[in-house]
């Protein structure tokens, strides 16, 4: 559990103290404020999934192929063309040339387009969510969902007990709504 003062964005900024409760990938921000005779309670849950090693491995392979396409493809193609003599039939033949032009060339173009889309998506996620690596994050598993629900319930119950201790009717605080989630299995 941690207490921090967050600052709003803009010209006239406001500072608000939040209580942060964190367990695993889940963070709950709790804001309590008095408005006249009323008490305002806000609870927000943030879940930041872990980075998937499978996605990292796939992007690494994609990067290696892109580097080959950018730097090695030209020299391989030139070497195949220079080593082939169509008059005397010496050299590697048309096989390496056809392979490089018909297989590696289109795959390299698709990979280049994929990297452009990955960059655009990552920049979009950085601007909207401040998470440049969002593409690498996997969905939470069942245990992480359970931890999130348990932490939300624990914080809500703590707030209810605190309201009871200070003499505020807990019926004034509506119960939190259940969030639906799909089974992953």
Burial (CB count <10 Å: 0-12, 13-18, 19+), residue 148: buried
Quickly tell me which residue has 């600052």 as its tokens: 7
Confidence (pLDDT) at 89: 45
**pLDDT tens string for the chain (185 positions)?**
777 777 766 667 778 888 888 888 888 888 888 888 778 888 888 888 889 999 999 999 999 988 877 776 666 555 555 555 444 444 555 555 555 566 667 788 889 899 999 999 999 999 988 889 999 998 888 888 888 888 888 888 888 888 888 777 767 666 666 554 544 33
pLDDT, position 35:
80
Domain limits, the chain: 2-49+139-172, 53-136
CB 53 within 8 A of CB 144: no
Which helix (H) or strand (E) segment holds residue 178: the answer is none
Distance CA 79, CA 65 (A): 19
Rounded Cα–Cα distance for residues 21 and 3 (Å): 9
Contacts of 97 (CB under 8 A, 6+ apart): 77, 80, 81, 84
Residue 84, CA distances (Å) to 62, 80, 87, 148 in order: 30, 6, 9, 64
Cβ atoms of 6 and 44 closer than 8 Å = no
Predicted local distance difference test score (pLDDT) of residue 77: 54
Instruction: Measure the CA–CA gap between 41 and 175, rounded to whole angstroms.
Output: 12
Position 88 scores a pLDDT of 46
């Amino acid at each position: 559990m941690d207490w921090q003062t967050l600052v709003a964005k803009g010209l006239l900024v406001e500072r608000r103290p939040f209580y942060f409760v964190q367990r695993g990938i889940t963070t709950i921000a709790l804001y309590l404020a008095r408005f006249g005779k009323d008490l305002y309670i806000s609870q927000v849950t943030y879940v930041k999934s872990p980075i998937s090693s499978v996605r990292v491995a796939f992007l690494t392979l994609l990067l290696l192929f892109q580097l080959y396409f950018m730097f090695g493809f030209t020299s391989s193609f030139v070497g195949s063309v220079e080593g082939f003599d169509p008059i005397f039939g010496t050299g590697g033949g048309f096989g390496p040339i056809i392979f490089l032009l018909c297989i590696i060339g289109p795959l390299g173009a698709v990979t280049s387009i994929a990297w452009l889309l990955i960059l655009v998506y990552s920049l979009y996620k950085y601007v909207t969510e401040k998470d440049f690596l969002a593409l690498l994050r996997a969905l939470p598993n069942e245990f992480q969902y359970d931890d999130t629900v348990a932490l939300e319930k624990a914080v809500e119950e703590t707030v209810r007990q605190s309201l009871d201790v200070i003499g505020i009717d807990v019926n004034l605080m509506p119960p939190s709504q259940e969030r639906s989630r799909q089974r992953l299995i």
